[in-house]
Amino acid sequence: MTPEQIIPWSIGLPLLGAFGIWITGKSPNLRESVTLITAVIVFVMVASLFDNVSAGDRPSWVFGNMLPGLSISFVVEPLGMVFAGIASFLWIITTVYTVGYMRGHHEQNQTRFYICFAVAISSALGIAFSGNMLTLFVFYEILTISTFPLVTHSGTPEAKRAGRIYLGILIGTSIALQLLAIVWTYTLTGTLDFTPGGILEGKVAPVMVSVLLALYIFGIGKAALMPFHRWLPAAMVAPTPVSALLHAVAVVKAGVFTVLKVTVYIFGIDLLQATDAGLWIAYMAATTILLASIIAMRKDNLKARLAYSTISQLSYIILGAMMASSLGILGGAMHIVMHAFGKITLFFCAGAIMVASHKTEISQMNGLGRKMPITFICFLIASLSIIGLPPFGGVWSKWYLALAAADTGQIIFVAVLMISSLLNVAYLIPIVVRAFYNDPDPETQNDHDDQGHDAEAAHHPGDAGGANQWKIGTMREAPIACVGALAFTAMGCFVLFFYADRIQAFLLPILEGANG
Amino acid sequence: MITDHLVVLQIIIPLMAAPLCVFIRNANVTWALATVISWICLAISITLMQQVMATGEIIYELGGWAAPWGIEYRVDMLNAWVLVIVTSIGAVVTPYAKLSAEKEIDNDRLYIFYAMLLLCETGLLGITVTGDAFNLFVFLEISALSTYVLISMGKDRRGLTAAYRYLIMGTLGATFYIVGVGLLYMQTGSLNIADLGNLIPDIADNRTVQAALAFMTVGLCVKLALFPLHMWLPNAYAFAPSVVTVFLAATATKVAVYALVRVIFTIFGGVDILEAVQISDVLIAMAIVAMFAGSAVAIYQTNIKRMLAYSSLAQIGYMILGLSMNSVLGVSAGLVHLFNHAMIKGGLFMVMGCVVYRIGSAKLDDMAGLGKQMPVTMGAFVLGGLSLIGVPLTVGFVSKWALLQAALEKGWWPIAVLIVISSLMAVIYIWRVIEVVYFQAAPAGRAAVKEAPLMMMIPMLTLIGAAYYFGIDGTTTMDIAGRAAEALIGGLK
């Protein structure tokens, strides 16, 4: 297959997979095999583009014109390559995890779940490979809509409410602000193609640059910049694999990826540098970093805490983009990778805890580390990576971001990054400490294989005896599929520490066309 | 050659078929006849479209009498476009009509229903092809009278008052229009639209001519239900038999918009009338109020047919807004939305027709839990609703894009912002339905509900599918609308 053909296939295959899942929906084993095989093939295809892109090749493919003069077209460049690689790779891991989780948790409507998941991945790849802003917008909206049934999966009134917030904010910002910005850009320049160096230089009055930029950045609601962040905590009512892959990687990273794309290929770093248009948004991002961390500290629900942590971490990337310096862009792009591995591990852990011990609140987790040592060690590793300590990947992206801040003379941002790291310590590490050092609460003794669960298991004949636990000695871990997945991504955090320079070298070409 | 007479056959064939239905009287035979006729009409209009694209404007002199004395039928890009809209809706509505009409209309009157449907289509097609201002009035009345009958045919007695209200409002509108035509005839001695377009620039300052413009505009705005002249529409759509609503929502108001375009850009095209007497400001204000009021009221409706009717009012606002921008981009945005909205709203009303067919009600509360029981129909509602909201890859997005581009090209910032905000209101009223349909359990007392019959499902999916086909590739429709708009605005410069 030529690189040009791989593009439509990698976007289309998850859709074919979704169809396969629908057909095989009656047989769970077959259905999940279809998902897994699709995920592996998609990743192999995406990965096979790596060498071409690395060699400076930019494979492209045009689907056709959607509006006169505006096409649905795709171009693979390093930034998109990285995003696509992450999303498709983690889809495999998440699928393995999901099988353990969904069965352990006895979820309903699993076929619909797997179908929507595949569509969401397809649109994330569409976003990654978009050759112009219109194409990106198309897939951006499909991603929102295809994840709605995942967020409201349980169908409870709470899920319904969360769905409203999710859709309201994401559709609202994208139509009211982003679409306006896109059409405005098109009226000014007559093109929407992603062009190295940007397309707006000389086409827009300097005072209007910051207005247009604000329309874009706030319009990209998926980047969860305050005050448009509420949808992300709301989305946590979804099953944990959704929170893990979509609301820590695919959806939110699609948001910040779009921010980077717009910064680099629509505005161009030079234009932003010359006009200082991004500065006030950088301050908004810095505020978001700190506020979200503080809110995270006050959340007792583990997933809610992680959600606010994600909001905070996403703003690192926005901050990197808005500082309009090469180092900031690089740091932001690398943070997409580093944070993806760290945060997906944390969510996997949260899900594993929920499956094995039915605990969702941090205050209930006293002494749980003794029963689930692997889970909590991985939790610790991922936390250290998020905080930004060596030898884990997270240190590099924070390093570049801090360098960028120092480089552009914004010492205050260096301080923000430092304080934020301390706040990360304050809201992540106590969870691990509590799990290992505190004595188990008396009522948490009666864990999962007690009476309560036997009654539940009676409703699901065939898995009596706790299929949702993996027991060795005194260990009561989640099913092995879950634990294996989270151990793997935790290892990823460690491996990335040694590959940061490779990622950086791969990303460097996106800065061509910029002087800074 | 028969192809030379296609223009007039477009009218004569359905006109002749209508009385034939009354002679036949057998419901099934009349249905078959109406279906065949509606497909023939579609074939003719597509052929006309191709001819116009290949050779330009077609002029047909009725009875060989030369204009401006004889009646002339004229088909250019714009007419051909509207003809295709009306006939394609007609062609999908008639197959759909059989089961729906059997359920909602007394079976011994079905033949009248098909006769009236054909007459209504005749009237709408006549308005579109004619090049004569008085002849236009005649067809306006043909379509209106048949519509009154159609609306009142349902078993719901409230349809009678709705039809009566439309009768009064519609007659007022038509009268205003004919008063305007009379004033123009007084001043110019001509009734031919193209001829009027040539004569009027010399006497444009004349008060009588301006009064004529005012009468015609107001009259047609009643027919196209522009706020605040819309009072007849919501009840008419809500209480008419479902299939009638589908046909009217997708065609009748569109044709009235077409007539208004002819008055403004052809009859008064020689003088930039939108600017000269500043009616564009009035129209824009009305359009924007319609966009917001229509959507806001739609949010609070409990009857979903009524909700969609109010949504139509808002959508008409978009069309008029585009047209009153008085630029090629704006007019083409308005014209492309004629087509796009016909598909979306036709499809959505067909969904409601299927719902009424199965559960006998269009009330939101009664629709609870239908998502599981009628998955295809409700899936079509979601897809149609997304198109109404204007999500990318749907025709609604194409329209919105065109409209936004037109507003920003003029530098009309506040208007662009209002467009996006009002389009977000559609999210609220569509999602309200989706939540009830998918998240609420079916009411306890309701018997098991089956999926809609295939014969209704296929036309419904055809329209919804078209709303996506022309959304993924919007170039054809935008190109046609753009060429029509250029011809209209070009006549003005």
Q: Does A186 touch chain B (CB under 8 A)?
A: yes
Q: How far is CA B129 from CA A444, B193, B323, B391, in A?
A: 80, 11, 20, 34
Q: Tell me the pLDDT band of A475, cut-offs 50, 70 and 90.
A: low
Note whether B299 contacts A: Cβ–Cβ < 8 A.
no
Judge: A64–B473 Cβ closer than 8 Å, yes or no. yes
Regarding whether B285 and B252 lie in a shared domain, the answer is no
Sequence letter at residue A248: A
State whether B343 and B411 are in the same domain: yes
A155/B408 CB distance under 8 A:
no
> Cis peptide before A373, with omega less than 30 degrees from 0?
no
- Whether residue A15 lies within 8 A of chain B, CB to CB, comes out as no
- Between positions 37 and 66 of A, the ones with CB within 8 A of B are 64-66
Partner B contacted by A214 (CB < 8 A): no
Q: What confidence tier does A206 reach under pLDDT thresholds 50, 70, 90?
A: confident
Q: Give the count of domains, chain B.
A: 2
Residues B267 and B284 in one domain: no
Tens digit of each residue's pLDDT, chain B (493 residues): 677 888 888 899 999 999 998 898 888 899 999 999 999 999 999 999 998 888 888 888 888 888 778 888 989 889 999 999 999 999 999 999 888 888 888 888 889 999 999 999 999 999 999 989 999 999 999 999 999 999 998 888 888 999 999 999 999 999 999 999 999 999 888 888 888 888 888 888 888 888 898 999 999 999 998 888 888 889 889 889 999 999 999 999 999 999 999 998 888 877 777 777 778 888 899 999 999 999 999 999 999 999 999 999 999 999 999 998 888 889 999 999 999 999 999 999 999 999 988 888 888 888 888 888 888 999 999 999 999 998 888 999 999 999 999 999 888 889 999 999 998 999 999 998 988 888 888 877 777 788 888 888 999 999 999 999 998 888 888 988 988 888 888 754 4
Each residue's pLDDT tens digit, B3-38: 788 888 889 999 999 999 889 888 889 999 999 999
Chain A hits for B405, Cβ within 8 Å = 183, 186-187
CB neighbour list of residue A171: distance below 8 Å, 6 or more residues apart: A141, A144, B389, B424, B427
Nearest CB to B392; choose among A138, A152, A167:
A138
> Which residues, numbered 150 to 169 in chain B, qualify as contacts with chain A under a Cβ-Cβ cut-off of 8 Å?
none
State how far the Cα of A91 lies from the Cα of A428, in Å rounded to an integer.
25
A138 touches chain B (CB under 8 A): yes
Q: Give yes or no for a contact between B6 and B103, defined as CB atoms under 8 angstroms apart.
A: no
A447 pLDDT higher than 60: no
DSSP per-residue string spanning A50-89: HHHHHTT---EEEEEEEETTEEEEEE--HHHHHHHHHHHH
pLDDT value at position B492?
47
DSSP designation for A106: T
CA distance B393 to chain A (A): 7
Could you say which DSSP state residue B264 is in? Answer: I
Classify burial at A54, counting beta carbons within 10 Å of its beta carbon; exposed 0-12, middle 13-18, buried 19 or more.
middle
- Supply the pLDDT for residue B336: 92
Q: Which of B424, B435, B482 sits opposite A175 (nearest CB)?
A: B424
Q: What is the C-alpha separation between A31 and A20, in angstroms, rounded? A: 8
CB contact under 8 A, B472 and A172: no
For residue B69 the two structure tokens come to 């004395």
Say whether A389 sits in a helix, a strand or coil.
coil
How close does chain B come to A222, measured CA to CA in Å? Answer: 16
A186–B405 CB contact, under 8 Å = yes
At residue B154, what are phi and psi to the nearest 5 degrees?
A: -70, 170
Query: Closest approach of chain B CAs to the CA of A157, in angstroms?
Result: 8
- In this prediction, residue A446 carries a pLDDT of 47
The residue from B223, B239, B271 where one domain ends is B271
Average pLDDT over residues A291-310: 90
Examine the pLDDT at A226 and tell me if it is beyond 70: yes
- Put simply, the answer to whether B389 touches A171 (Cβ < 8 Å) is yes
User: Nearest residue of B to residue A172 by CA position?
Assistant: B424
Query: How many CB atoms are located within 10 Å of the residue A366 CB?
Result: 17
Angle between helices A110-129 and A251-261 (to 10 degrees): 10
Q: Which of A72, A160, A178, A179 to mutate to test the interface with B (most CBs of B within 10 A)?
A: A179
Radius of gyration of chain B (CA): 21
User: Chain A neighbours among B 434-453 (CB < 8 Å)?
Assistant: 435, 438-439
Neighbours of A108 (CB within 10 A): 10
How distant is the Cα of B14 from the closest Cα of chain A, in angstroms? 36
Cβ atoms of A213 and A287 closer than 8 Å: no
Sign of CA dihedral B397, B402, B406, B409: positive
- Give the span between the Cα atoms of A144 and A139, in whole angstroms: 9
Q: Domain check: are B248 and B301 in the same one?
A: no
Bridge partner residues of B74 (DSSP)? B59
pLDDT tens-digit series, residues A260-278: 999 989 988 888 888 888 8
Q: Which of B391, B435, B474 sits opposite A141 (nearest CB)?
A: B391
Yes or no, beta carbons of B473 and A167 under 8 Å apart: no
Angle between helices B110-129 and B6-24 (to 10 degrees): 170
Residue A227 CA: distances (Å) to CA of A165, A173, A280, A312, B66 = 13, 11, 14, 12, 68
Q: CA neighbours within 13 Å on the CB side: how many for B287? A: 23
The residue among A361, A231, A247, A410 whose CA lies nearest residue A313 is: A247
Convert the pLDDT of each residue in B203-258 to its tens digit.
888 888 888 989 999 999 999 988 888 888 898 898 899 999 999 999 999 999 99
Of B268, B401, B250, whose CA–CA distance to B329 is shortest? B401
As to burial, measured by CB atoms within 10 angstroms (0-12 exposed, 13-18 middle, 19+ buried), residue B449 is: middle
Residues B86 and B107 in one domain: yes
Distance CA A362, CA A378 (A): 16
By CB atoms closer than 10 A (0-12, 13-18, 19+), residue B65 is exposed
Cβ distance A176 to B389 less than 8 Å, yes or no, reads no
B476 contacts chain A (CB < 8 A): no
Output the pLDDT for position B2: 73
In this model, does residue A122 exceed pLDDT 50?
yes
Nearest chain A residue to B432, by CA: A164
Which residues from chain A sit within 8 angstroms of residue B389, using beta carbons? Answer: 171
All residues of chain A having their beta carbon less than 8 Å from the beta carbon of residue B473 are 64-66
Residue type, A103: R
Containing structural domain, residue B186:
1-271
CB of A479 within 8 A of CB of A467? yes
Most confident of A288-297, A505-514, B446-455: A288-297
Q: What pLDDT does residue B273 have?
A: 73
Is the preceding omega at residue B443 within 30 degrees of 0, hence cis? Answer: no
Chain A, chain B: beta-carbon pairs less than 8 Å apart: 74
Angle in degrees, CA A85, A89, A94, rounded to 5: 145
Length of chain B: 493
Residues B184 and B167 reside in one and the same domain: yes
List, for residues B148-169, the tens digit of each pLDDT value: 999 998 888 888 999 999 999 9
Of B249, B271, B293, the residue that ends a domain is: B271
Same domain, B310 and B379: yes
B-chain CB neighbours of A172 within 8 Å are 424, 427
Which of A67, A145, A155 shows the shortest C-beta gap to B401? A67
- H/E segment holding residue A457: helix A451-459
CA distances from B46 to A481, B95, B277 (A): 59, 19, 37
One domain for residues B307 and B232 = no
Q: What is d(CA A278, CA A217) in angstroms, rounded to the nearest whole number?
A: 10
Contact assessment for residue B21 and residue B36, using Cβ atoms and an 8 Å cutoff = no
Closest approach of chain A CAs to the CA of B383, in angstroms? 11
B455–A contact, CB cutoff 8 A: no
Whether residues B353 and B283 share a domain: the answer is yes
Same domain, B205 and B224: yes
pLDDT of residue A463 exceeding 80, the answer is no
Least confident range of A42-51, A99-108, B11-20: A99-108
Q: Do A179 and B408 touch (CB under 8 A)?
A: no
Is the CB of residue A144 less than 8 Å from the CB of residue A43?
no
Cβ-nearest to B427 among A138, A152, A171: A171
Contact of B404 with chain A, judged by CB distance below 8 Å, is answered with yes
**CB contact A167 to B (< 8 Å):** yes
What is residue B397's predicted lDDT score, i.e. its pLDDT?
Answer: 92
Confidence band of A473 (pLDDT split at 50, 70, 90): low
Residues of A in contact with B404 (CB under 8 A): 179-180, 183
Last residue of a domain, one of B271, B304, B336: B271
Alpha-helical segments (H) within A276-325: 279-297, 302-322
Q: What is the pLDDT, as a whole number, of residue A468?
A: 63
Higher pLDDT, A366 or A259: A259
Going by C-alpha positions, the residue among B257, B277, B276, B278 that lies closest to residue B322 is B257
Residue A444 has pLDDT above 60, yes or no: no
| Interface ipTM | 0.88
Distance from CA of B68 to the nearest CA of A (A): 38
Q: Are residues B50 and B132 in the same domain?
A: yes
Q: Which residue on chain A is closest to B425 by alpha carbon? A: A172
Question: Which residue among B401, B420, B435 sits closest to A176, beta carbon to beta carbon?
Answer: B420
Quote the minimal CA–CA distance from B473 to chain A in Å.
Answer: 5
Cis peptide before B392 (omega within 30 of 0): no
On whether any CB of chain B is under 8 Å from the CB of A207, the answer is no
CB atoms closer than 10 angstroms to residue B28: 12
Distance from CA of A259 to the nearest CA of B (A): 20
Range with the largest mean pLDDT of A281-295, A502-516, B276-290: A281-295
B424 and A171 within 8 Å at the Cβ level: the answer is yes
Which candidate, A2, A192, A69, A96, places its Cα nearest to that of A482? A96
Q: For residue A218, give how far its alpha carbon lies from the nearest alpha carbon of chain B (Å).
A: 15
- Contact by Cβ (8 Å): A307, A241: no
Task: Say yes or no: B302 and B384 in one domain.
Answer: yes
